[in-house]
Structure 1
Amino acid sequence: MDRFKRIFPALALCLLPLSYSEARQAQPCEDAMLQSLSAQLGQRGWSSPSENAQGPLVAAACKPWPDDPNLSVVTLAYQDAKNSSSPGDRNLNWLVAKVDTRSGQLRERYDDYLGEDSALVLDADSLRLDTARYHLAPGMRAFGVVVSSVARGASCPDAGSNDLLTLVVPKGAKLRPVFSTYLHAWTTVKGTSCVMDSDFQSEQAELTLAIAPTRSHGYADLLVSARVRAGQEENVLRTVSTTVRYDGSQYPFKQFATFWTREEQP
């Protein structure tokens, strides 16, 4: 199942502010870890992904698990060695997992695909792990994976988004996604982006996630907040928040959230 096809085909990706890109910390994977995972996944010939690398491992991130020094969390995007599709046309295998830090042995995992297209292209830095304190229930701590695209997108978009955050929780030997949304989005307020004399105006939002004190169906409610700015301005126009409640199987929420837009405001 390709959950990363765009909801609205006309949307393009918004460019992230430079300060955001610089704030990211490196999450490298040791070579021994990559070789262990490669063998378990039936692959070979992996090396750490880099900007100019053309190997089968497109992107990777590894991070210690805060609750247990013997465990790490990892995420990988890779294509089979016999597949030589070009960026933008690849159907990448996507792994999210907890592993034994020393051996690299898989403990809990989630497997999916990342189907590239005009709106989604990955490079070496496209995957990032989020191990914030997502304590959703007693003994239940989620972690997140952020997928960032470097695709050029549409040439004259009305809106756009990037940095898709997905939260996963354990279920036996598996991990399952329970929440997903883009962390950066923008939309047209007035005019047309490609017409210079259309008095074009846009707004962009940076979304953050927090754990609310209330619960639904045994899981903590999520508080999603958006800091909204006009175009590329630095000053925040408004901060808008909404509460998302677990329905027994997931947190129902739009990947391209609109609760922060003018049309949704009372």
Structure 2
Amino acid sequence: MKRFLNVRILFFAPIVLMGLGAPAALAGQNECGGRAAEIIRRAYPSATDADDGTLLFEGATVTLPKDDNADSDPHAVICRVWPVQPQLTLVAVPLMTEQSDSENEGDIELLVADSTNLKIKQRLRLDGLMSDDAVRVRSVAFDTARYQLAPGRTAFGLRVSLEGSSRANPFGETTLWLFSIESDALKPVLDNIVVGESHGEWDTACAGEFSETTRTLSMVASAKSAVADIVVTEKTTTSVNTVGTDNDCNSEDKTTAAKHQLRYDGSGYSVPKDLKRIE
């Protein structure tokens, strides 16, 4: 399966606090408010209309949201007014070059627009982020928890959730990227950390083993830098199911915890390989 991220900087962008399941930061995901078409026209003035209501731009298909339900189509445009800077609206545009039941190919372009006149202020294209096959992209969402690098410097997040189709070998994964606006350009500052993962192998009746990991990010003052460190708090629960003598399904759980500290190196936060999305 091809899953990769090459950052192609077109115009250019800092951070703080959530892992999996941040209701306030993730609620009300799609706030395009019927303005998605106008945003796309401004961002891609050469885009043309297709017969199915989508837009075509340089070989890629852009799907407009049918309503404000962000979970209705992971390939549709989503918008979010940035709470820390409500004069700005965050937009994620899936640019799909191939779509089928077996696989998809596509990028995401992040846009930062003026909330009033929809002028595009910054943009950043993330190559291959919508590409999948057996493990499908289930949802794309903005994370606007207060990821604060330093006073006056705050970043926003983008989460991409994947889901496998196998019942015998269930798999799910949510990955977080963080971005900030610096020198009037959009910049990635944290590349690809898995904040939620679940997988297992079982006989589809009872016997098997399952594992679930959640990671929460929080900002702490750095002893070595004016930019905050990120503490990643990790919790993993492993469950082993067995069939008892009375044919009941018995489960034995084991929970472990760990912490990781990520430090800003002047351009971003380095993520350990074992916390990253599987390529």
Same fold (TM over 0.5): yes
Gaps of 5+ in 1: 6-19, 51-55, 259-266
Q: 2:107 aligns with which of 85, 93, 97?
A: 93
What is the letter of the counterpart of residue 34 of structure 1? A
Q: C-alpha distance in 2, partners of 1:218/1:21?
A: 27
Q: Does 1:229 align with 2:199?
A: no
Q: Deviations over 1:98-146 (max 9, x none)?
A: 21112222112211222523354335xx111111111112321110000
The residue number in structure 1 matching 2:258 is 240
Residue pair 1:162, 1:185 contacting (<8 A) in 2 also: yes
What is the letter of the counterpart of residue 60 of structure 1? V
Q: 1:4 to 1:112 in 2, by over 3 A?
A: closer
The residue number in structure 2 matching 1:174 is 185
Q: C-alpha distance in 1, partners of 2:29/2:158?
A: 12
What is the letter of the counterpart of residue 184 of structure 1? G
Q: C-alpha distance in 1, partners of 2:178/2:165?
A: 26
Residue pair 1:223, 1:243 contacting (<8 A) in 2 also: yes
Give the alignment of 1:1-266 within 5 angstroms: 3-4=4-5, 25-28=27-30, 29-41=32-44, 42-45=46-49, 46=54, 47-48=64-65, 58-79=75-96, 83=97, 85-113=99-127, 114-122=129-137, 126-152=139-165, 156=169, 161-179=172-190, 180-186=192-198, 193-194=201-202, 200-214=208-222, 216-231=224-239, 237-254=255-272, 256-257=274-275
Gaps of 5+ in 2: 7-20, 55-63, 68-72, 241-250
Q: C-alpha distance in 1, partners of 2:252/2:148?
A: 32
Q: C-alpha distance in 2, partners of 1:194/1:57?
A: 28
- Greater fraction of residues in strand: 2
Q: C-alpha distance in 2, partners of 1:214/1:60?
A: 37
Q: C-alpha distance in 2, partners of 1:151/1:196?
A: 15
Q: Following superposition, which runs of at least 4 residues in structure 1 exceed 4 angstroms of deviation?
A: 20-24, 153-157, 194-197, 232-236
- Measured after TM superposition, the shift of residue 44 of structure 1 is 4.0
What is the letter of the counterpart of residue 29 of structure 2? Q
Aligned length: 228
Q: C-alpha distance in 1, partners of 2:41/2:135?
A: 24
Q: 1:235 to 1:90 in 2, by over 3 A?
A: same
Residue pair 1:118, 1:154 contacting (<8 A) in 2 also: no
Q: 1:84 to 1:187 in 2, by over 3 A?
A: closer
Q: 1:119 to 1:143 in 2, by over 3 A?
A: farther
- Measured after TM superposition, the shift of residue 219 of structure 1 is 2.0
SS across alignment from 2:40: helix
Residue pair 2:219, 2:228 contacting (<8 A) in 1 also: yes
What is the letter of the counterpart of residue 234 of structure 2? A
Q: 1:58 to 1:38 in 2, by over 3 A?
A: farther
TM-score, normalised with respect to structure 2: 0.67
SS across alignment from 1:58: coil
Residue pair 2:237, 2:255 contacting (<8 A) in 1 also: yes
The residue number in structure 2 matching 1:263 is none
Q: Which moved more, 1:114-123 or 1:245-254?
A: 114-123
- Measured after TM superposition, the shift of residue 243 of structure 1 is 0.8
SS across alignment from 2:84: coil
Identity across aligned pairs (percent)?
Answer: 22
Q: C-alpha distance in 1, partners of 2:133/2:177?
A: 21
